[in-house]
Amino acid sequence: MDNIGKILVVDDEADILEFISYNLKKEGYEVYTALNGKEALPIAKKTKPDLILLDVMMPVMDGIETCKRIKADSDFDQTYVVFLTARSEDYSEIEGLDAGADDYIAKPIKPKVLITRLNAILRRKIKEMAAPSIKVKDLFIDRESFLIYRGEQKIALARKEFELLFLLASKPGKVFTRENILEKVWGDEVLVVDRTIDVHIRKIREKLGDEYIGTVKGVGYKFEV
Amino acid sequence: MDNIGKILVVDDEADILEFISYNLKKEGYEVYTALNGKEALPIAKKTKPDLILLDVMMPVMDGIETCKRIKADSDFDQTYVVFLTARSEDYSEIEGLDAGADDYIAKPIKPKVLITRLNAILRRKIKEMAAPSIKVKDLFIDRESFLIYRGEQKIALARKEFELLFLLASKPGKVFTRENILEKVWGDEVLVVDRTIDVHIRKIREKLGDEYIGTVKGVGYKFEV
DNA sequence: ATTAATGTTATCTAATTGTTAAGCGGGCTG
DNA sequence: CAGCCCGCTTAACAATTAGATAACATTAAT
């Protein structure tokens, strides 16, 4: 299991803390914990987590206050904050998002849901931080503009087409299985038939030519080198 | 039949334990047993099994708790956990998978089903852990790209051909019987005549030359060293 | 020399992928 | 708000190719 990121979990109930911590570790995350906001800040400073999971209702320093302080600190520009809120207190949802939280998850927590959401959030983050452009063969694949440059020629791809090409081009020569592609381009909550990929491949080939994407029958697709 | 792996079986009913144990040993597995979770942990620590077969309902320490402890221990990152669950208690199926189990098998246990499932699981494991590429003689056999490199030359094999060559090359000099090959390349649900292998061998030789794969008449094939 | 095992070729089928077209829904513009 | 455009998905059909088998040829062992 690959190490995808660091997460700081903050909750005043020790058993919930352990429960979440256990599930995240299982998933391959590096997990830190704190029992309240006051405790959390210095830990966050030191460990620079990718994401902070923050209970709203806490003694000493509640989640909203903590979130505001975190968001005010430029050290944490790259840090996502996700609130844990009891289902009833939906008001805090709004207030929380006002405080700068990037998302929220309702208690009671189901491991599958938790993992799925966090994976999605962090995948988004990783994507944002990923190299903004790739140069392969005669192509310049540019995230900034979502355009493919071939010499002077500019070629526009639709978002999914772009993401798919970007993925393949990120490791030229490597074969990506359909499973692989669905997971990385579509995400966990995949609700598409894998044949959809074929159609996107077709459109990319139509726009760029057949020489870039190769088929490995029974396995998947790859960027030809 | 070659020794494919170590399995720890945990169940509180001695006769079930013996029944499973007997069937697994017959299949060539190295089998350890324990009567409950508490007993199982130290044994697991010592023997480092490839797979743990865990009854859910047990006194002293039940399967779910045991599973959680196992999964929390980084010593067992490479260990699969499979639950044994009574058919009625399907709820535990979900809970069990939440606890980190990799699969589950419903009681009552049929030996054939058990063996088939475990073989499948362990084969998957072995494949995942397998080196992604092999260098032998003047060949570089690369799973990433599904290509064979000979110097600058790239040679493409069909999937089955590739898998077959990969298998032989994974242990140069070792003779693989047809049985062996069918099991590893085709899987358990083999519904092919073993002469099919000959044809694939032929195609590989055609593409790479005759010097790589040797025939041991009456036994099988091997990668020549 | 006889026989069993393997090599080789050709053919068929089933699985996989390519391709086209149609439907749906969101967002934008007038 | 209506109407249109566009991106995404799926379904349906076509094309392709990997894979399986049978049939016949050849080889090696006793």
Q: For residue A74, what pLDDT band results from cuts at 50, 70 and 90? A: confident
The more confidently predicted of residues B161 and B62 is B161
Question: What is the mean predicted confidence (pLDDT) over B139-149?
Answer: 96
Question: What is the mean predicted confidence (pLDDT) over B34-59?
Answer: 90
| Partner residue facing B159 (CB), from A174, A218, A222 | A218
Res A99: pLDDT: 67
Q: Say how far A130 CA is from D7 C1', in Å.
A: 24
Q: For residue B113, what pLDDT band results from cuts at 50, 70 and 90? A: confident
Q: How many angstroms separate the CA atoms of B198 and B185, rounded?
A: 13
Nearest-CA distance A60 → chain B (Å): 30
Q: Say how far A62 CA is from D21 C1', in Å.
A: 72
Q: For residue B96, what pLDDT band results from cuts at 50, 70 and 90? A: low
Residues listed for chain B: 225
**pTM exceeds 0.75, yes or no:** no
Res A92: pLDDT: 47
pLDDT of A91 over the 60 cut: no
Tokens found for residue A14: 């020790």
Res B97: pLDDT: 56
Tokens found for residue B202: 């032929």
Residues 169-208 of A with CB under 7 A from strand C: 178, 195, 198-199, 201-202, 205
Strand C nucleotides within 7 Å of a protein CB: 5-10, 16-21
pLDDT of A61 over the 50 cut: yes
Res A188: pLDDT: 75
Res A83: pLDDT: 86
What is the Cα A33 distance to its own chain's centre?
Answer: 21
Q: For residue A59, what pLDDT band results from cuts at 50, 70 and 90? A: confident
Question: What is the mean predicted confidence (pLDDT) over A148-172?
Answer: 95
Q: How many CB atoms lie within 10 A of CB B220?
A: 19
- Among chain B, residues having any CB pair with chain A shorter than 8 Å are 68, 71-72, 77, 98, 100, 144-146, 158-159
Tens of pLDDT, residue by residue over A98-140, are 667 777 787 777 777 788 888 888 887 877 777 789 999 999 9
pLDDT of B98 over the 70 cut: no
Provide the percentage of residues in chain A whose pLDDT is more than 90.
52
Res A206: pLDDT: 96
Res B12: pLDDT: 92
Provide the percentage of residues in chain B whose pLDDT is more than 70.
92
Q: For residue A95, what pLDDT band results from cuts at 50, 70 and 90? A: low
Question: What is the mean predicted confidence (pLDDT) over B145-149?
Answer: 97
The more confidently predicted of residues B215 and B106 is B215
pLDDT of A196 over the 60 cut: yes
Provide the percentage of residues in chain B whose pLDDT is more than 90.
58
Residues B184, B196: contact at Cβ < 8 Å?
no
The more confidently predicted of residues B101 and A165 is A165
Res B93: pLDDT: 46
Query: If you measure CA to CA, which chain A residue comes closest to B78?
Result: A1
Annotated domain spans of chain A:
6-129, 133-223
**In chain B, how long is the greatest CA-to-CA distance?**
62
Domain B133-223's class?
mainly alpha
Q: Which of A13-17, B114-118, B168-172 has the highest mean pLDDT?
A: B168-172
Architecture of domain B6-129: 3-Layer(aba) Sandwich (3.40)
pLDDT of A90 over the 60 cut: no
The three-state (H, E, C) secondary structure of B18-81, written as one string: HHHHHHHHHCCCEEEEECCHHHHHHHHHHHCCCEEEEECCCCCCCHHHHHHHHHHCHHHCCCEE
Phi, psi of A165 (to 5 degrees): -65, -40
Question: What is the mean predicted confidence (pLDDT) over B125-154?
Answer: 90
Q: Which of A210-214, B68-72, B83-87 has the highest mean pLDDT?
A: A210-214
**Among A34-43, A76-85, B41-50, the least confident range:** A76-85
